[in-house]
Amino acid sequence: MCQWLDRQSVLLRAPAKLNLHLEVLGRRTDGFHDLETVMVKLDLHDTLLLRLGEAANSNIDFRCHYASPFFEVNSSSPPPIPTDSSNLVIKAARLLQTTTNSHRDIQIELTKRIPVQAGLGGGSSDAAATLVGLNELWGLNLSIPELEQLAAQLGSDVPFFINTHTAAICRGRGEQITPISVRGNFPLILAQPKTGLSTPAVFNKWSENYSKSSSRSVKPIQQALTEGKTSTVSRLLFNALQVPAEELNSQLMQLTSLFRKFPVPGTLMTGSGSCCFGICHSFRQAASLSPLLRAARIARVCVTSLHHKRMHHGYHRSSYQTNG
């Protein structure tokens, strides 16, 4: 995940994620919801370049660039990624400064490829990469469990990205992590509607109409992933938030309906939306479906696959395709 470029800078790859199983178990007393979900990392990724500054004034110079047709912006519309203190990258850096009393200036350059408000965990992954990279640059020697504890303060999905496992069962708010093994690459096609969703609105919709439905066990899909049985995994895909999300977003409903017409083994919405994915028989099939999704004019499209452990160390450019 972390590659040293020289003594003053590191390069990190921050992968996206998918939820292959997402069960909502109920609302907690703190207002959040207890979840049980299977998350997998993808080859689609953001890149962070971290450099040490000369001074020790606790300054953070944060810049963001866009390297994907997912981020088509022009002079009349603001960038979709905030570069102020509300960004999770800056929050992660500040948290680490405060916790460890580290004051060395830092420059952070984020190259953004993962779409926002998509349920792909881009912001969470960027925050985790920031914690890991600064732990190295500042020579803090914090352990993985210590970094995960800090990550949990930033967001529910952030702890999942701290370690190098490809997949995990995450419980609670997402901070209780049980790594699981995965066989196979799982060729994937992703599509994000041009209109997004509010996560609180999706959970509220679930609470109002779907909270009394019976829960599904995570064990069958865990076993299928471990055995590399693509067809079984595809059959077991489940997201308790998909129906309420579809009711809130007509473009999402159009997109999921279109996916179900394709000859793919399985399809699902990830997280609280609004991105959907299809598990394909091959990369050729995934590439052939891209123009069909693009022609519908309701979604942006990306072809990718799972991101395995062997690819975490060092920088590897993602072998994905995007279509505006």
CA atoms within 13 A on the CB side of 104: 18
By annotation, the residues acting in catalysis are 17, 157
**Backbone torsions φ then ψ of 269, nearest 5 degrees:** -85, 145
Quote the tokens at residue 114: 């993962």
DSSP string of 34-68?
EEEEEEEEEEEEEEEEEEE-SS-S--EEEEEEE-S
In the chain, the N- to C-terminal Cα span, in Å, equals 28
Does residue 215 have a cis bond before it (omega within 30 degrees)?
no
Residue with tokens 């992660």: 92
Residue among 321, 72, 66, 317 at smallest CA distance from 190: 321
**Backbone torsions φ then ψ of 279, nearest 5 degrees:** -85, 125
d(CA 262, CA 257): 9
d(CA 281, CA 266): 10
Residue among 304, 35, 26, 29 at smallest CA distance from 155: 35
